[in-house]
Amino acid sequence: MTNNKQNLLHLAIIIIVLIICFLIVPKNNDYEVEGIYLPKYQLNMVPISHSKVNAINLNNKQDKLYYENLDKAIGLIRVSKMVDNYKDFDNICKQNVDKAIDLAAENGIDRIKYMCSYPQGELNQLSNVTLQAYAFKD
């Protein structure tokens, strides 16, 4: 076997191995929604039902009344999910709201006021849709 044929054989084997590696390693585009409740005070509250949590979207409210008393919140809820498509923004925001309601119910919070924030500019591997919610107990 000549040197050129041997080089071509090695090149073909390397290309085949690379193709197999790309096919075996899956691309994970289904990211998880991650969230955390950050209490302002050390309170031990009993978990409540998800249906009892009242969620108010501050992005849609222009009324000053909805923005009042945010400093009287008993905690914050932060939720985030990675995004790689502009069309998914609203759907991911809804998933974030559902996660925030779950966290609120687990911690006995019966009212949250939330805002979704979207990435600006070009999307990359660090782009995410975030939600910040203020937690209240009536």
pTM: 0.74
- pLDDT for 23 equals 78
- pLDDT for 96 equals 93
Half-sphere exposure of 43 (CA within 13 A, CB side): 18
Task: Return per-residue pLDDT of the chain as tens, 138 residues.
Answer: 678 888 888 899 999 998 888 777 766 667 788 899 988 888 788 888 888 898 888 877 665 556 667 878 889 999 999 888 888 888 999 999 999 999 999 999 989 999 999 888 888 888 889 999 999 987
- pLDDT for 104 equals 93
- pLDDT for 95 equals 92
Take residue 49 and report the two structure tokens written for it.
């039902």
What are the residue ranges spanned by the domains of the chain?
Answer: 31-136
- pLDDT for 106 equals 92
- pLDDT for 69 equals 75
